[in-house]
Amino acid sequence: MKRLKLPALSRTRDWLLVAVATYVIVQVLIYLEMIDAFWLPIVQLGAVMAIISLGLNLIYGFNGQFSLGQYGFYALGAYTAADITYRLNDANQLHHVLNLGPLSFDWGQTVSFVAALVVAVLFSALVAFLFGLPVLKLGSDYLGIATLGFTMVVYVLANNSDTILGFQEMKGARGMVGIPQLTTWFWTFLFLVVTMVLVRNLVYSSPGRAIVSVREDETAAKAMGIDISRYKLLAFVIGSALAGLAGGLYAHLYAFLHPSIFHFVKSFDPLIIVVFGGLGSMTGTVIAAFAWALLLQGLAVAVLPSNLLEWRYVLYAVSLIAVMLLRPQGLMGGRELGFLKNLRVVAQRKEPPVGAPAEPAPEVTHASN
Amino acid sequence: MPATENLLEIKGLTKYFGGLKAVSDFELTLKPGELVGIIGPNGAGKTTVFNMISGLYAPTAGQILFENEDLIGLEPHEITQHGIGRTFQNIRVFPNLSVLDNVAIAYHPHAHYTVWDAIARTEQFDRKERDLIERAQDFLAVFGLQDRQNELAKNLPYGEQRRLEIARALATEPKLLLLDEPAAGMNPRETHRLMELIHFIRDRFKLTILLIEHQMRVVMGICEWITVMDFGQIIARGTPREIQNNERVIEAYLGTGVAARIHH
């Protein structure tokens, strides 16, 4: 009796083709300079915001834990990755100065970049684990305050990175320069796809259902035998590690880091993106992240005269209020499109399962008097 | 005397909330296969007893032995995995999840694949996830909910939500099922079906059932033994017939008018 049709390989391959096509089209547009030096970083910023917001959606949208810590982990990832490539870059230059022979420079940089991102992810995950262990026991509002505190602490540390922490190259409040500009459309797109696959595969699985059950009703989840502390921690660590990844990409996008980028007020950006896109909708998060980058950071800057530029934050706020009033469930309201759909549900709808007729349900056998 | 015959043995169970004595010196023994009811007026401490058995509250004093193992200090999910399932007075299905996912969550401790299997979609994931979903679908069919599997739990009518909640508790494969006012808010027709359902699951799953109930008709109709609580204490214990004729119960809980109705 085969009632469940898991997605066939061709299906996965179809989506892989869609991904490759998207990548190639954008790459061609970049080559033709239709996406120019102004728009390219904005497109990449959209992907970076999509990654950090997908992480938050896992924590808040799927697991129901209100976290304002995303920007803290974003900063952590950014400074960690930047410091690694900065040092390796230095070593490369030293190598060059000492005239130790030719270096396959690009190859070395790519390896150091990927290594830096891996370390940024692992470090964010480790900090999230140690921080999450005590604070995830808190109720939702208190967790929000605690994670906001985390973001503020990271901000202060970034401001004093050269004094308190002793990382001279981070230059504290003056901002870190000299980071190699290694983030390309290829890398942002690749990591966005990896993130989407990761979050999707996690959510549509038994551990994913355990994560969602915590959001739905903690007490009932416990009564179902779900170790809720474990799944809160799992979602928090993965979500925060994704923020670290996004940070690493961001650091090498503008090749400049300043503590003000990670000010706690900015930590509301991913929250707004997630709520705007719809809590618990991956599709909505990705769309909202690109909309945020393209409209707010791109179009508004390109169109509005500079003396009116600050008005975009007013427009931003007004559009948020409008969405909350008109569509409180967000753009997608928990629905998914295409690849991000739960294919199991699709398969079932096509082929409704036949109930086991051997056992009559008590529903039908009820006697009437 | 070895207590091996008892499935559940509660001794001297006491719970204080600050200065309020919610439950005091509660005792209960369940043998495998029994169907026992706890009755008592609002605030008598019945649900508090359930919350202590299922580990949501830590008792102030006392002992809860399940298959001769002390449950006190275990986390609620560990108690569920030991074989105690429960439902709640106010229905607690996962409202925004499908009926199928509600049951699938109960199978999670037996999923047999890791987070890594899920993310990488390994062969282990494909096989075990398919098993799990098929088991959940078969289980829904037993409860006549197979046609509802893709519907959100919150969209089911009240009676079916209650049935789903019971199905979900049974999917955790309990030896002991705790039902907290299963007939609350049901009309007579739904109540009647519920009583049939309780008989059905007990026979089919060879369960021991402990239930709290307000509606006399339900308790008197299906329970073999009844414990009556008032103000956190046990005031009577016996078969439904004994309870019906117990002076203290009639006075403290049923009132003379109600008692008369039951007799005729």
Task: Tell whether B169 is covered by a domain.
Answer: yes
Of A193, A229, A210, the closest CA to residue B113 belongs to A210
B34 with B56, same domain: the answer is yes
A/B interface, count of CB pairs below 8 Å: 151
Mapped onto helix, strand or coil, the DSSP state of residue B28 is: strand
pLDDT higher than 70, residue A59: yes
In chain B, the number of structural domains is 2
Of B119, B113, B125, B117, the closest CA to residue A197 belongs to B119
Q: A293 CB contacts (<8 Å, ≥6 apart)?
A: A42, A43, A45, A46, A49
Distance (Å) from the alpha carbon of A200 to chain B's nearest alpha carbon:
8
The sign of the dihedral angle between the CA atoms of A33, A38, A44, A47 is negative
B32 with B72, same domain: the answer is yes
Task: Tell whether B206 is covered by a domain.
Answer: yes
B14 with B107, same domain: the answer is no
Task: Determine the residue type at B20.
Answer: L
Using the 8-state DSSP alphabet, how is residue B215 labeled? -
Task: Tell whether B1 is covered by a domain.
Answer: no
B134 interface with A at CB cutoff 8 Å = yes
- Partner residue facing A209 (CB), from B105, B134, B138: B105
Chain B positions touching A3 (Cβ under 8 A) are 134, 137
Asked if A208 and B118 come within 8 Å (Cβ–Cβ), the reply is yes
Scanning A210-249 for CB atoms below 8 A from B yields 210, 212-213, 216-217, 219-228, 234
* Residue of chain A with shortest Cα separation from B130: A4
B33 with B140, same domain: the answer is no
Task: Tell whether B204 is covered by a domain.
Answer: yes
Asked if B105 and A362 come within 8 Å (Cβ–Cβ), the reply is no
pLDDT higher than 50, residue A364: no
Structure tokens given for A100 = 């130790």
Q: B92 CB contacts (<8 Å, ≥6 apart)?
A: A217, A219, A220, A223, B165
B37 with B66, same domain: the answer is yes
Rama region for A330: left / alpha / beta (φ>0; ψ in -120 to 50; rest): left
**Cβ count near A266 (within 10 Å):** 16
How do B69-70 and B61-66 pair as beta strands? antiparallel
Of B32, B49, B51, B19, the closest CA to residue B228 belongs to B49
Q: What are all long-range contacts of A296-304, with beta carbons under 8 Å and residues at least 24 apart?
A: A297/A42, A297/A45, A298/A38, A298/A39, A298/A42, A302/A38
B232 interface with A at CB cutoff 8 Å = no
Distance (Å) from the alpha carbon of B188 to chain A's nearest alpha carbon:
11
Task: Give the separation between CA B105 and CA B136, rounded to whole angstroms.
Answer: 9
Question: pTM, whole model, 2 decimals?
Answer: 0.89
Percent residues over pLDDT 70 in chain A: 85
Tens of pLDDT, residues A156-212: 999 999 888 888 888 888 989 888 888 999 999 999 999 999 999 999 999 999 999
Cβ-contact A340, A200 below 8 angstroms: yes
Asked if B80 and A209 come within 8 Å (Cβ–Cβ), the reply is no
Domain range annotation of chain A: 39-263
B100 with B133, same domain: the answer is yes
Distance (Å) from the alpha carbon of B94 to chain A's nearest alpha carbon:
5
Chain A positions touching B149 (Cβ under 8 A) are 348, 353
B124 with B199, same domain: the answer is no
Per-residue model confidence (pLDDT) at position A350: 38
B166 with B121, same domain: the answer is no
Asked if B56 and A345 come within 8 Å (Cβ–Cβ), the reply is no
Task: Give the separation between CA B143 and CA B162, rounded to whole angstroms.
Answer: 11
Q: Strands across the sheet with B69-70, in order?
A: B20-30, B8-17, B61-66, B69-70
Q: Which of B122, B138, B155 is the last residue of a domain?
A: B155
Task: Tell whether B103 is covered by a domain.
Answer: yes
Asked if A334 and B120 come within 8 Å (Cβ–Cβ), the reply is no
pLDDT higher than 70, residue A98: no
Per-residue pLDDT of chain B (264 residues; tens, 9 = 90+): 444 578 999 999 999 998 888 999 999 999 998 999 998 888 888 899 999 999 999 999 999 999 999 999 999 999 999 999 999 999 999 999 999 999 999 999 989 999 999 999 999 999 999 999 999 999 999 888 989 999 999 999 988 999 999 999 999 999 999 999 998 888 888 888 889 999 888 888 889 999 998 777 788 888 888 988 888 888 888 888 888 888 888 777 655 555 555 555
pLDDT higher than 60, residue A367: no
Per-residue model confidence (pLDDT) at position A248: 96
Q: Residue B192 is part of a domain; what is its CATH number?
A: 3.40.50.300
pLDDT higher than 80, residue A369: no
Q: Dihedral of the CA atoms A279, A281, A286, A289 (nearest 10)?
A: -10
| Band (A150; pLDDT cuts 50, 70, 90) | very high
Task: Tell whether B3 is covered by a domain.
Answer: no
B199 with B227, same domain: the answer is yes
Q: Which of B121, B155, B189 is the last residue of a domain?
A: B155
B164 with B258, same domain: the answer is yes
A353 interface with B at CB cutoff 8 Å = yes
- Partner residue facing B77 (CB), from A1, A202, A225: A225
Tens of pLDDT, residues A271-311: 999 999 999 999 999 999 999 999 888 888 888 787 777 77
Q: ∠ CA(B94), CA(B96), CA(B98), 5° rounding?
A: 80
B83 with B185, same domain: the answer is yes
Range of the domain at B65: 8-93+158-263
A199 interface with B at CB cutoff 8 Å = no
Per-residue model confidence (pLDDT) at position A160: 92
CA-based radius of gyration for chain A: 23
Burial per residue of A301-329, b for 16 or more beta-carbon CB atoms within 10 angstroms, e otherwise: eeeeeeeeeeebeeeeeeeeeebeeeeee
Of A54, A217, A368, A226, the closest CA to residue B88 belongs to A217
A108 vs B142, higher pLDDT: B142
B200 with B84, same domain: the answer is yes
A352 interface with B at CB cutoff 8 Å = yes
Tens of pLDDT, residues A305-352: 877 777 777 878 888 888 888 888 888 887 888 778 876 644 444 344
**Mean pLDDT of chain A, nearest integer:** 85
Q: Which of B132, B155, B178 is the last residue of a domain?
A: B155
